[in-house]
Structure 1
Amino acid sequence: MSSQPYSARQRLIQAALELFTAQGVSGTTTRQIADQAEVNEVTLFRHFGNKHGLLLAVLEESAAFKNLGESLVRRANPPGSVYQALKDYASESLHALERVPEFVRSVVGEADQYPTENRRALGRGLTEANRYVAQYLATVMEQGHLNTYLPAEKLASLLNGMLLGYAVIEFTSEFHELWEDRDDFLENLVRLFLHGAMSPVPELAITPASIVLTPEVADLPALIVHEILRQAGKLGLQDYALAYVLFGAGLFPREIVSLQRSHQIYDANGHFLQVTTPGFVRQVPVNQWIMGKRYGSYTNNPLIKWLKSRKDTQKAMFLDQNGNLITESAIQTCWETWTQGLLTTQGKPPALEQAQHTWCVEMLMRGISLDNLSILTGCDRVQLQPYARRSKEKAALEQATRLDHKPA
């Protein structure tokens, strides 16, 4: 045995993987595994306890899922055709699953009989693979100049789930007549993603991702935010409502000008706005608390007061001085009026985009997850990382300040 290049443990794991792949988990005995590994069956029990313990080691140490994902990242230089890039990945994934049909059948069919540790290991393996696939999809979307209303991680989960579902159906049933063949399935899957979950970014369109895609985050301190809101409130109901939407919902001016009076939903439990941009619709909350100060309630706040005061028949939520749909330049003019005489810590007047920066950081400070913020903004986690970093910096400063108030 000493002449073997690998340890008994390594040989057992490799033998188990080969046999599980060839004949399934349930169809493989511990004696067969021990014989192929050229060890005594007692050695298998001493290392792993039983077959399920060995399966756990296979899932955790064989790195089959991870290797598939890493191979994607290594070659993640998609061709000019996004369609072909997605189809290549889906096709390769199915080929990989088709090479181990018995293993897939056993893992899926017997998973409910596995110990908790085995199911957790399987989940970790899928999560690891998903992370690599998300990187691949992010590259595909960037090079293909695509916009999506879901972050890359969610798209990867959906794609992998559909591919695994196809494999399970194909390996466990016949004559289902769901699709003509594998190519028919792949064709429809890729078209679904390209036309349902992804869309080309119009050359001149401003997508939700452009709202917060910035290398530097410049959020405003609470004193300046409250002063801007106070100055806006002095100028009238619409100014107050407009400033309230900027800081309470984190909207970009291009989104605000598209708002209509019918685009708000509110009751005692929440206040929401429906935001519509080219090829993209989402809902965002209007916060009643802004930087530690409450501005009314969900049913009685500056925006609701403004809309209730309206006597005109215009559908637009905000109007210019002539009673027409407000423009981005008009919003900029309002902002300059509200911020006159104010300076940031950099010694500069507050910029309009800093309202959106402030909202994103505040939402993260208040505990929203990156995934949920991604849904609200339409940006993926990579684009939101600068805001996550800034929120952690502010949290660290707040903690240090609290500690300074307490004697050692």
Structure 2
Amino acid sequence: MAAQRKSTRQRLVQAALQLFAAQGVTETTTKQIAELADVNEVTLFRHFGSKHGLLLAVIEEAEVFTQLGEALGQRADDLHSLPQALQVYAEGHLQAIEQIPEFVRSLVGEAGHYPTENRQAIGRGLSQIHRYTAQYLATVLSHNQMNASEDTALLMPLSAATLASLMNALLLGYAVIEFTTEFHELWPDREAFIADLVSLFLGAATGRAGAIAPTGRLAQFVPSQTGSRGEILDLPAPLVREILQTARKSGSQDYALAYVLFGAGLSPAEMARMQRSHSISDDQQHLLHVVQGATRQVPLNQWIMGHRYGSYTKNPLTQWLRSRKDDQPALFINEAGRSMSEVEIRLRWQTITAEIIAPSGHPPLIEQAQQTWCVEMLMRGISLESLSILTGSAPEQLQPYVRRAQEKAALEQAIRLDQRSSIKSDASS
């Protein structure tokens, strides 16, 4: 019975979307929707209460933009040219809207007549599109910067999130113009608009202020809210513990994902390409086989910032893998059961850490997990040469991490001396 109810609900949602897209919300009747879904009108009202209730379900459950977001996530890893990435996104966004032109017209033109919850649902849908876009742009921009030389690395005056907001607003505005007017003469055609859009954003992306955070193998990380280039922002132990505990409450895959970030120091791009077979463990060790860039093996630590997370054979990652019932070879998977892309990994991190504030005053960025691992390994006594082998990075690239580890060691020494002086003072008094 439950399966039948779900099937009926899905038929009604799909029928409504089809009719809304073809003739708009106002012109579509509940009788037409019920007939197309092959149910009676009473069933529609039992499930959704009214046409506006059904519209709310369509907004929240329609897969047009979800599919666009997933497609972006899968393509972002392979798009290393910024102009190409911007063009691909703009074309995909407009093509997605083009599938439902009448629905878009209705949403825009009739939104003032919708109940509050419907307008809120539209806002949530736009926010979801924004999150995918921001992570897509951040991923492609970081790849672009990682492949550029020091002199030609792109600097951004705006964050990827701000660029995503502006780009989506312009694309939606153009779509509304295209769908609601004739002979507007603003652009000769869609291709011309996209070309101008790409040129505009390339100009913004090559400005002179601020720096986008690279996300490649140990590329120096400079979030827009921090200071000078090359600054290392490793996270304090209590904050790392909080992130891991929050991830644990979020689910076994999120816990495994955070554990790999802090326990092996991998980048999101490296994690997106990992397979189940790349996790190798026995009683003596747990290794991860990294295939992106220089092929290498990295240890997955039991101990992270003073806390132990299971054993080599029983830890958050092995528990996640044992719990799975699917045949997907990827180490991490999305809700559709496909390999999780770098963009989607970043979105998961964003969700896990949304309520956590780092010393910078902002939620921690995913690159800070990799930085924390590098600094911790140096603090434990690993040599620069060994860390270079594990990370696949040249020793000179790791010098900022060496400096940061030295700073932390100096602080710890000073604190111990102060504590020792305090003990002596108490003993003599």
Matching residue within 166, 181, 188 for 2:174: 166
Distance 2:187 2:128 in 1: 30
CA distance in 2 between counterparts of 1:206 and 1:41 reads: 57
Q: What is the CA distance between 1:361 and its match in structure 2? A: 5.9
Aligned match of 1:102 = 102
Q: CA deviation at 1:64?
A: 3.0
Kindly indicate whether the alpha-carbon contact (under 8 Å) linking 1:81 and 1:144 is maintained by their aligned counterparts in 2. Answer: yes
1:67 match: 67
Assess, with a 3 A threshold, how the Cα gap between structure 1 residues 178 and 382 changes in structure 2: closer, same or farther.
Answer: farther
| Alpha carbons 2:80, 2:140 under 8 Å: kept | no
Contact 1:59 1:125 in 2 (8 A): yes
Task: Return the alpha-carbon distance in structure 2 between the equivalents of residues 31 and 184 of structure 1.
Answer: 42
Contact 2:65 2:96 survives alignment (8 Å): no
Q: State the Cα distance separating 1:4 from its structure 2 match.
A: 7.4
Q: Provide the residue aligned with 1:130 in structure 2.
A: 130
d(CA) in 2 for partners of 1:64, 1:137: 20
Query: Normalization by structure 1: what TM-score?
Result: 0.51
1:152 and 2:160 aligned? yes
Query: Is 1:79 paired with 2:79?
Result: yes
Listed one character per residue, the Cα deviations across residues 150-207 of structure 1 (whole Å, up to 9, x for unaligned) are 22111111111110000001111122221111111101100100012444989xx997
| Counterpart Cα distance in 2 of 1:110 and 1:384 | 45
Please say if residues 235 and 368 of structure 2, whose CA atoms lie closer than 8 Å, have aligned partners that are also in contact.
no
Shift of 1:28: 0.8
Q: Per the alignment, do residues 38 and 206 of structure 1 end up closer, same or farther by CA in structure 2, a change over 3 Å counting?
A: closer
Residue 47 of structure 2 aligns with which residue?
47
Structure 1 distance, partners of 2:136, 2:9, is: 34
Q: CA deviation at 1:62?
A: 2.4
Does the 8 A contact of 1:105 with 1:171 survive in 2?
A: yes
- Cα distance in 2 between the residues matched to 1:143 and 1:363: 24
Using the TM superposition, give the Cα deviation of residue 147 of structure 1 relative to its aligned residue in structure 2, in angstroms.
Answer: 2.1
Q: Distance in 2 between matches of 1:147 and 1:384?
A: 20
Q: Deviation per CA, 1:8-48: give whole Å up to 9, x if none.
A: 21211111111111111112110000000111101111111
Alignment of 1:308-327 (within 5 A): none
- Structure 2: distance between partners of 1:115 and 1:385: 43
Question: SS in structure 1 opposite 2:26?
Answer: coil
Q: Which residue of 2 aligns with 1:92?
A: 92
Change in Cα spacing, 1:43 to 1:140, as seen in structure 2 (3 Å) is: same
Change in CA separation of 1:64 and 1:96 when aligned onto 2, cut-off 3 Å: closer
SS of the aligned residue for 1:75 comes to helix
1:143 and 2:151 equivalent? no
For 2:195, the equivalent position in structure 1 comes to: 187
- Report the counterpart of residue 18 of structure 1 in structure 2: 18
The C-alpha deviation readout for 1:98-130, integer Å capped at 9, x for no partner, is 221111111111111111111111111111111
Structural RMSD (CA): 3.5
Alignment of 1:2-401 (within 5 A): 7-145=7-145, 146-199=154-207, 209=224, 210-211=228-229, 213-217=231-235, 364=361
SS at match of 1:147: coil
Counterpart amino acid of 2:106?
S
Structure 1 residue 211: Cα displacement: 4.2
1:208, distance to aligned residue in structure 2 (A): 7.5
Q: Using the alignment, how far apart are the partners of 1:108 and 1:135 within structure 2?
A: 26
Q: 1:354 maps to which residue?
A: none
2:418 aligned residue = none
Amino acid of the residue matched to residue 23 of structure 1?
A: Q
Structure 1 pair 6/116, CA: closer, same or farther in 2 (3 Å)? Answer: closer
Larger radius of gyration: 1
**Secondary structure at the residue paired with 1:148?**
coil
Structure 1 residue 73, shift from structure 2 partner: 0.4
> Take 1:143 and 1:48, find their aligned partners in 2: how far apart are those partners?
45
Letter matched to residue 47 of structure 2: H
Change beyond 3 A, Cα 1:206–1:52 = closer
d(CA) in 1 for partners of 2:207 and 2:107?
A: 36
In structure 1, stretches of 5+ residues that fail to align are 220-359, 371-379, 388-408
Q: Which amino acid aligns with 2:234?
A: E
Taking structure 1 as reference, are residues 189 and 385 closer, same or farther at Cα in structure 2, changes over 3 Å only?
farther
* Residue in structure 2 matched with residue 232 of structure 1 by the alignment: none
Tell me the SS of whatever aligns to 1:149.
coil
Distance 1:149 1:94 in 2: 26
Cα distance in structure 2, aligned partners of 1:43 and 1:143: 51
TM-score when normalising by structure 2 = 0.49
Report the Cα distance in structure 1 between the residues aligned to 2:156 and 2:135, rounded to whole angstroms: 15
CA distance, structure 2, for counterparts of residue 191 and residue 385 of structure 1:
34
AA paired with 2:183?
A: F
Stretch deviating more after TM superposition (42-51 or 61-70): 61-70
Contact 1:134 1:153 in 2 (8 A): yes
CA deviations 1:296-339 (Å, max 9, x no partner) are xxxxxxxxxxxxxxxxxxxxxxxxxxxxxxxxxxxxxxxxxxxx
- The verdict on how the C-alpha distance between 1:195 and 1:123 changes in structure 2, with shifts beyond 3 A counting, is same
Quickly say closer, same or farther: Cα 1:5–1:198, change in 2 above 3 A.
Answer: farther
SS of match in other structure, 1:68 = helix
Q: What CA distance in whole angstroms lies between the structure 1 residues aligned with 2:4 and 2:24?
A: 26
One-letter identity of the residue aligned with 1:62: A
**Equivalent position of 2:288 in the other structure:** none
Structure 1 counterpart SS, 2:76: coil
